C-alpha cells in the first residue's frame, strides 16, 4: 500500500515525470516479491517433489535409485514389507508422543513458574533453560550416554533412555514458547475472573489455560517434530532400538527400500494437511471478527 | 434504600509499595445505595484503593467492611463486590454473552441465560451477543464490562474510570446511562475518576483524593462552594487565592486585611488557623464594576483593578484583572447583554459577598491541584 501511494504521488508530480525506462522498473518493483517468493517455493518443493515422484518408482535392483525406471503402486501397497521399517516407525511414534506429552506438561509448568512467581534464582533458571538449546547435539548425546552408563542404565538403553533424552532437549523449546505467550497475557484477566466469583482452579481452567493454549499447542507440535526426526542424540541413547531416523540412516548404508519415499511423502502430506487445517481454522476465526 | 446493612466501610486503609505510600490511612463510609465518587489526579492511589476493596491487593494495614462483615482478607470471589476495570479486562476468548454470563455461571445460577440476555439488552448490546470483545468499539466494550459486573447484583460496584476511553459525547451519554442504572437498581457505586465534572454531575458524595489521602469529602455543592484546602479549591473548578492577614472576628464575620483593604468572610467558611491565610473566591462569584461606580453586589470591595485580558467564551466573558499588588484575578461574567463588556486597560473595582469567600490555611501551596493544560485530556 505504502509503495503504491508513494509512486502515485511521484508520478503525479509534473516536474519529475520521466517516462523512459519507468515501465520496466515499475514492473520489477511490482513483481519482485512475487518472483522471489516463487523461487523460494521452488527451492523448497523440488526436493519434496523428487521424494514424491520416486515413491512411485519401480527400481530394477533391490535398492532404490535416483533413476526413475517405471511407474508402480507397489511401494504404496507394501509399506511394511522392508524388514524393520514399520517397527521403527512405531517406535518413533511411541517415543515422540511420550516425549511430547512429558515435555509439554513439564515445560508448561516451568513456564508458569518462571513468569508468574518470583523466587530466588529465577533469572538463573531463565538462563539455564536456554543451555540445552545451545549445546551441540553430539555433545548432549555423548554426555547423556556416559551418564546413563554410569548410573547403570546401560542394560535398558532403548525406549526409556530415548524418551529421557528427547524430553530434555524439547523442554527448553516448550518453556521458551509457552513463556512468550504467558508474558503477553494480561494478568488483570485472571483478576477479573476472580472478581466474578471464579475460584483459583476455575480461573485457571476457564481463563488462563484457554488463553495460554495456542502457545502450548505450538510448543507440543514443535516438540513432536523435534523428537520425531532426531538422529544424533537418539543414536547415542538408543542402545539396540531403532527409531525411524536411525532406520533410514542404516538403510543408506545397506540397500535403500523405495518404501522410505512413501513414508516421507505421507509424512509431508500429513503435516501439510495440518498446516492447511490450522490456517483455515484461523481464517474462520478472524472472519467472525 | 433505608437499610444500612450493607454500607461499605473502610477504616485506616493503608498500602505501601516498598517505601512508597500509595494509600495513607484512608477512612470513609459509603452508605448503601449511594453514588460515591473518588476524585483525584493520576497516581493518587484511586485504583490501589479499589483493588483493596475488591480483594485483588492485600492492604498493608486497615480494614474493609461491608455491613458488619470484615472482608479485608477475603478472597475476591467470596466478596459481594464487582469491578469494572480501568482497562475493561474483557475475556478475549469468550463471546459477549459468555462474558456477561461469567459471574452467574460461576455461582451456579439456574436461569442465567435469560438474565444474561436481559442484561445485554439493558446495556443495549442485543445484536452483539455472539461477538467477541475485539469486534466491538470502545464504547460497546465499556458497556460489556459494565453489564458483566452489574448482572451479579453486588452489594458494591467498583468502577475504575470506566468512561476514560470514550469521546466526550459518548461519555456524557454513558454518564446519564450509568446514573439511570444506579438509581434503578440501587446498588452502591464507587466511581473512580479524575474528571471533576463527571464526579460532580453523577455523585451524591465526592471524596477528593491526593497523594494517598482524602483531602475533603462531601456533597458536590459543599465541596465546590466551601473547599477546605487549596488543592480542592483548585482541583474542583478554579479559584482566586489571595494572601491576607487575619485581623479580627466581628459577629459572624472574620475580617481580613488584603494588601491594605479590609474584607470579610463568613466565619463558618474559615478553615485557617494562623494569622496569615489564603482568601479564596470563585471567579464567577466576583462582580466587576467600573471604578468608583455604585457597588450593587456584596459588601466586599477591592479597588484599583485594571483589565489585562478579555476572553469571550460565548456564555460568559472571562476577565483577568491586575490588582495593585500585582496579582491577576479571574472574573467570569455571564453574557446577559445587560451592559457593555469591559475592555483591556479599563479601571475596575471588584466586589463579592462575604458568604461566597472562604479562608484556607496559609501553609498550603496556592497552586496545589491547579490543572495545567497537559493534565486535562
Ligand atoms: N504494584 C505496584 N508497585 C509499586 N507501585 C505501585 C504499584 N501499583 C501502583 N503503584 C503506585 O501507587 C501509586 C498509586 O497508583 P494507582 O494506580 O492507585 O493510581 P491512580 O490514582 O489509579 O491513577 P490513575 O488515575 O492514573 O489511574 C502510583 O504512584 C503508582 O506508581
Ligand atoms: Mg487508576
Whole-angstrom CA distances from B327 to A245, B49, B60, B342 are 88, 39, 45, 19
Ligand (nearest to CA of B43):
1
Q: How confident is the model at residue A201 (pLDDT cuts 50, 70, 90)?
A: very high
Tell me how many domains chain A contains. Answer: 2
pLDDT at position A13 is 46
Tell me how many domains chain B contains. Answer: 2
pLDDT digits (tens, 9 = 90+) for B41-61: 888 899 999 999 999 988 999
Dihedral (CA of A167, A169, A175, A180) sign: negative
Does residue B202 sit in the same domain as residue B273? Answer: no
Q: Do A186 and B134 touch (CB under 8 A)?
A: no
The average confidence (pLDDT) of chain A is 84
pLDDT above 60: residue A16: no
pLDDT at position A7 is 42
| Domain that includes residue A42, residue range | 37-82+258-289
| Domain that includes residue B110, residue range | 8-225
Distance A195 CA to ligand 2 centre (A): 17
Q: Do A193 and B102 touch (CB under 8 A)?
A: yes
pLDDT above 60: residue B376: no
pLDDT above 70: residue B28: yes
Q: Do B76 and A199 touch (CB under 8 A)?
A: no
Distance B275 CA to ligand 2 centre (A): 39
Q: 3-state SS of chain B?
A: CCCCCCCEEEEEEEEEECCEEEEEEEEEEECCCCEEEEECCCCCCHHHHHHHHHCCCCCCEEEEEECCEECCCCCHHHCCEEEEECCECCCCCCCHHHHHHHHHHHCCCCCHHHHHHHHHHHCCCHHHCCCCHHHCCHHHHHHHHHHHHHCCCCCEEEEECCCCCCCHHHHHHHHHHHHHHHHHHCCEEEEEECCHHHHHHHCCEEEEEECCEEEEEECHHHHHHCCCCHHHHHHCCCCEEEEEEEEEEECCEEEEEECCEEEEEEHHHEECCCCEEEEEECHHHCEEEECCCCCCCCCEEEEEEEEEEEEECCCEEEEEEECCCCCEEEEEEECCCCCCCCCCCCEEEEEECHHHEEEEECCCCCCCCCCCCCCCC
Q: How confident is the model at residue A80 (pLDDT cuts 50, 70, 90)?
A: confident
Domain boundary residue, one of B203, B225, B247: B225
Does residue A49 sit in the same domain as residue A138? Answer: no
Please give the number of the atom of ligand 1 that sits closest to the Cα of B48. Answer: 18
Does residue B119 sit in the same domain as residue B183? Answer: yes
Q: How confident is the model at residue B195 (pLDDT cuts 50, 70, 90)?
A: confident
pLDDT at position A133 is 86
Does residue B57 sit in the same domain as residue B175? Answer: yes
pLDDT at position B100 is 93
Ligand (nearest to CA of B42):
1
Give me the residue label for grid cell 494509600. B23
Query: Which of chain B's residues have a Cβ under 8 Å away from the Cβ of A288?
Result: 131-132, 135
The average confidence (pLDDT) of chain B is 86
Q: Find which of A193, A195, A202, A210 to mutate to test the B interface (most B CBs within 10 Å of its CB).
A: A195
Question: In this structure, are strands B276-281 and B287-290 parallel, antiparallel, or unpaired?
Answer: unpaired
For residue B17, report the phi and psi dihedrals to the nearest 5 degrees. -110, 100
The CATH number of whichever domain residue B129 belongs to comes to 3.40.50.300
Question: What 3-state DSSP class applies to A120?
Answer: coil
Task: State the average pLDDT over residues B158-175.
Answer: 82
Q: Please state the separation of Cα B181 from the chain's center in Å.
A: 20
Question: In this structure, are strands B213-218 and B270-271 parallel, antiparallel, or unpaired?
Answer: unpaired
Q: In chain A, which residue's Cα lies nearest the Cα of B57?
A: A191
Does residue A104 sit in the same domain as residue A218? Answer: yes
Looking at chain A, how many residues does it have? 289
Q: Do B82 and A288 touch (CB under 8 A)?
A: no
Does residue A150 sit in the same domain as residue A62? Answer: no
Q: Do B81 and A188 touch (CB under 8 A)?
A: no
pTM higher than the cut 0.90: no
Does residue A49 sit in the same domain as residue A134? Answer: no
Sequence-separated (6 or more) residues with CB below 8 Å from residue B52? B13, B15, B23, B58, B59, B64
Pocket, ligand 1, Cβ cutoff 6 A: B 17, 20, 22, 40, 42-48, 194
Q: Please state the separation of Cα B27 from the chain's center in Å.
A: 17
Instruction: Answer yes or no: is A197 within a domain.
Output: no
pLDDT at position A286 is 64
Separation in Å, CA of A221 to nearest CA in chain B: 22
pLDDT above 90: residue B36: yes
Least-confidence region, from A64-73, A274-283, B324-333, B345-354: A64-73
Does residue B220 sit in the same domain as residue B270? Answer: no
pLDDT above 70: residue A14: no
Distance B49 CA to ligand 1 centre (A): 9
Instruction: Answer yes or no: is A14 within a domain.
Output: no
Q: Do A194 and B89 touch (CB under 8 A)?
A: no
Cell representation of residue B223: 465541596
pLDDT above 50: residue B125: yes
The string over B233-254, giving b where at least 16 C-beta atoms fall within 10 Å of a residue's C-beta and e elsewhere, is bbbbbebbbbebebeeeeeebb
pLDDT at position A227 is 93
Q: Do A186 and B87 touch (CB under 8 A)?
A: yes
Q: Find which of B80, B85, B109, B154 to mutate to test the A interface (most A CBs within 10 Å of its CB).
A: B85
pLDDT at position B359 is 87
Instruction: Answer yes or no: is B313 within a domain.
Output: yes
Least-confidence region, from A53-67, A167-181, B339-353: A53-67
Instruction: Answer yes or no: is B274 within a domain.
Output: yes
CA B269 to CA B284: how far, in whole Å?
18
Instruction: Answer yes or no: is A176 within a domain.
Output: yes
pLDDT digits (tens, 9 = 90+) for B258-303: 888 888 888 888 888 778 889 889 999 888 888 777 766 567 888 8
Please give the number of the atom of ligand 1 that sits closest to the Cα of B194. Answer: 25
Task: State the average pLDDT over residues A45-62.
Answer: 84
Please give the number of the atom of ligand 1 that sits closest to the Cα of B51. Answer: 18
Does residue B217 sit in the same domain as residue B297? Answer: no
Separation in Å, CA of A124 to nearest CA in chain B: 24
- Considering all CA atoms of chain B, what is the largest pairwise distance in Å, rounded to the nearest integer? 77
CA A66 to CA B304: how far, in whole Å?
107
Nearest CA to ligand 1 atom 3: B17
Does residue B202 sit in the same domain as residue B259? Answer: no
pLDDT digits (tens, 9 = 90+) for B295-341: 665 678 888 888 999 998 888 999 999 888 888 889 999 888 888 88
Nearest of A61, A97, A58 to residue A75 by alpha carbon: A58
First vs last Cα of chain A: how many Å apart? 22
Of B76, B131, B134, the CB nearest to A195: B76
The CATH number of whichever domain residue B252 belongs to comes to 2.40.50.100
Instruction: Answer yes or no: is A155 within a domain.
Output: yes
pLDDT at position B335 is 87
pLDDT above 90: residue B349: no
pLDDT above 60: residue B377: no
Does residue B195 sit in the same domain as residue B247? Answer: no
Does residue B242 sit in the same domain as residue B211? Answer: no
Of A189, A202, A210, the CB nearest to B106: A202
pLDDT above 60: residue A9: no
Ligand (nearest to CA of B23):
1
pLDDT above 50: residue A242: yes
Dihedral (CA of B148, B154, B158, B164) sign: positive
pLDDT digits (tens, 9 = 90+) for A26-38: 877 778 888 899 9
Task: State the average pLDDT over residues A257-276.
Answer: 88
Does residue A251 sit in the same domain as residue A264? Answer: no
Separation in Å, CA of A203 to nearest CA in chain B: 10
CA B197 to CA B177: how far, in whole Å?
16
Does residue A172 sit in the same domain as residue A268? Answer: no
pLDDT above 60: residue B150: yes
Separation in Å, CA of B77 to nearest CA in chain A: 4
Query: Which of chain A's residues have a Cβ under 8 Å away from the Cβ of B90?
Result: 192
Give me the residue label for grid cell 455604585. B294
Residue pair B178/B172 in contact (Cβ under 8 Å)? The answer is no
Separation in Å, CA of B80 to nearest CA in chain A: 9
Instruction: Answer yes or no: is A114 within a domain.
Output: yes
Chain A residue set in contact with B, beta carbons under 8 Å: 186, 188-189, 191-199, 202, 206-207, 210-211, 288-289
Q: Do A192 and B91 touch (CB under 8 A)?
A: yes
Instruction: Answer yes or no: is A63 within a domain.
Output: yes
pLDDT above 60: residue B10: yes
Percent of chain A whose pLDDT exceeds 70: 89
Q: Do A288 and B106 touch (CB under 8 A)?
A: no
Percent of chain B whose pLDDT exceeds 70: 96
Does residue B196 sit in the same domain as residue B252? Answer: no
Amino acid at each position: 500500500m505504502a509503495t503504491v501511494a508513494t509512486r502515485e504521488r511521484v508520478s503525479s508530480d509534473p516536474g519529475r515525470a520521466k517516462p523512459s525506462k519507468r515501465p520496466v522498473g515499475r514492473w520489477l518493483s511490482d513483481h519482485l516479491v512475487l518472483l522471489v517468493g516463487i523461487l523460494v517455493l521452488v527451492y523448497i518443493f523440488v526436493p519434496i517433489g523428487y521424494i514424491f515422484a520416486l515413491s512411485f518408482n519401480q527400481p530394477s535392483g533391490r535398492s532404490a535409485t535416483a533413476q526413475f525406471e517405471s511407474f508402480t503402486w507397489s511401494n504404496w501397497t507394501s509399506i511394511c514389507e522392508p524388514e524393520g521399517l514399520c517397527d521403527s516407525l512405531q517406535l518413533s511414534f511411541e517415543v515422540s508422543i511420550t516425549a511430547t506429552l512429558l515435555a509439554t506438561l513439564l515445560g508448561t509448568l516451568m513456564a508458569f513458574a518462571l513468569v508468574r512467581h518470583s523466587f530466588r534464582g529465577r533469572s538463573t533458571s531463565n538462563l539455564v533453560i536456554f543451555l540445552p538449546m545451545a549445546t551441540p547435539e553430539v555433545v548432549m548425546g555423548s554426555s547423556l550416554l556416559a551418564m546413563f552408563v554410569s548410573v547403570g542404565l546401560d542394560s535398558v538403553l532403548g525406549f526409556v533412555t530415548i524418551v529421557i533424552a528427547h524430553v530434555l532437549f524439547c523442554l527448553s523449546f516448550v518453556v521458551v514458547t509457552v513463556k512468550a505467550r504467558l508474558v503477553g497475557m494480561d494478568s488483570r484477566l485472571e483478576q477479573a475472573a476472580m472478581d466474578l466469583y471464579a475460584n483459583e482452579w476455575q480461573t485457571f481452567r476457564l481463563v488462563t489455560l484457554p488463553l495460554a493454549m495456542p502457545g502450548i499447542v505450538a510448543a507440543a507440535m514443535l516438540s513432536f517434530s523435534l523428537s520425531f526426526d532426531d538422529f544424533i542424540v537418539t543414536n547415542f541413547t538408543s542402545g539396540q532400538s531403532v527409531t525411524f531416523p536411525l532406520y533410514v540412516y542404516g538403510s543408506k548404508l545397506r540397500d535403500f527400500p523405495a518404501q522410505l519415499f512413501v513414508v516421507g511423502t505421507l509424512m509431508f502430506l500429513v503435516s501439510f494437511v495440518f498446516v492447511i487445517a490450522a490456517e483455515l481454522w484461523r481464517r474462520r476465526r478472524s472472519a467472525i471478527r | 434504600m433505608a437499610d444500612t446493612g450493607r454500607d461499605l466501610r473502610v477504616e485506616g486503609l493503608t498500602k505501601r509499595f516498598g517505601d512508597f505510600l500509595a494509600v495513607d490511612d484512608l477512612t470513609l463510609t459509603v452508605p448503601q445505595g449511594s453514588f460515591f465518587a473518588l476524585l483525584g489526579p493520576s497516581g493518587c492511589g484511586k485504583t490501589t484503593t479499589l483493588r483493596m476493596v475488591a480483594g485483588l491487593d492485600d492492604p498493608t494495614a486497615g480494614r474493609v467492611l461491608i455491613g458488619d462483615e470484615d472482608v479485608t482478607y477475603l478472597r475476591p470471589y467470596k466478596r459481594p463486590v464487582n469491578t469494572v476495570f480501568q482497562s475493561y479486562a474483557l475475556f478475549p476468548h469468550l463471546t459477549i454473552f459468555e462474558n456477561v454470563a461469567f459471574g452467574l455461571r460461576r455461582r451456579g445460577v439456574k436461569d442465567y441465560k435469560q438474565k444474561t440476555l436481559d442484561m445485554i439488552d439493558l446495556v443495549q448490546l442485543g445484536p452483539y451477543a455472539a461477538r467477541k470483545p475485539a469486534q466491538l468499539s470502545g464504547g460497546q466494550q465499556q458497556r460489556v464490562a459494565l453489564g458483566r459486573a452489574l448482572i451479579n447484583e453486588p452489594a458494591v460496584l467498583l468502577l475504575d474510570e470506566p468512561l476514560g476511553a470514550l469521546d466526550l459525547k459518548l461519555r456524557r451519554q454513558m454518564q446519564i446511562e450509568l446514573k439511570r442504572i444506579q438509581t434503578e437498581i440501587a446498588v452502591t457505586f464507587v466511581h473512580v475518576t479524575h474528571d471533576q465534572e463527571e464526579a460532580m454531575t453523577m455523585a451524591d458524595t465526592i471524596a477528593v483524593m491526593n497523594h494517598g489521602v482524602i483531602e475533603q469529602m462531601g456533597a458536590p455543592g459543599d465541596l465546590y462552594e466551601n473547599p477546605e484546602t487549596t488543592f480542592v479549591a483548585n482541583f474542583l473548578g478554579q479559584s482566586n487565592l489571595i494572601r491576607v492577614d487575619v485581623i479580627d472576628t466581628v459577629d459572624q464575620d472574620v475580617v481580613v486585611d488584603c494588601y491594605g483593604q479590609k474584607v470579610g468572610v463568613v466565619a463558618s467558611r474559615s478553615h485557617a488557623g494562623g494569622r496569615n491565610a489564603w482568601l479564596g473566591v470563585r471567579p464567577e462569584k466576583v462582580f466587576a464594576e467600573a471604578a468608583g461606580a455604585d457597588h450593587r453586589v456584596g459588601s466586599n470591595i477591592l479597588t484599583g483593578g485594571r483589565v489585562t485580558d478579555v476572553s469571550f467564551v460565548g456564555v460568559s466573558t472571562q476577565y483577568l484583572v491586575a490588582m495593585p499588588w500585582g496579582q491577576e484575578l479571574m472574573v467570569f461574567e455571564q453574557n446577559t447583554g445587560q451592559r457593555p463588556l469591559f475592555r483591556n486597560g479599563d479601571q475596575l473595582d471588584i466586589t463579592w459577598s462575604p458568604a461566597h469567600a472562604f479562608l484556607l490555611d496559609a501553609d498550603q501551596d496556592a497552586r496545589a491541584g491547579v490543572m495545567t493544560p497537559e493534565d486535562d485530556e
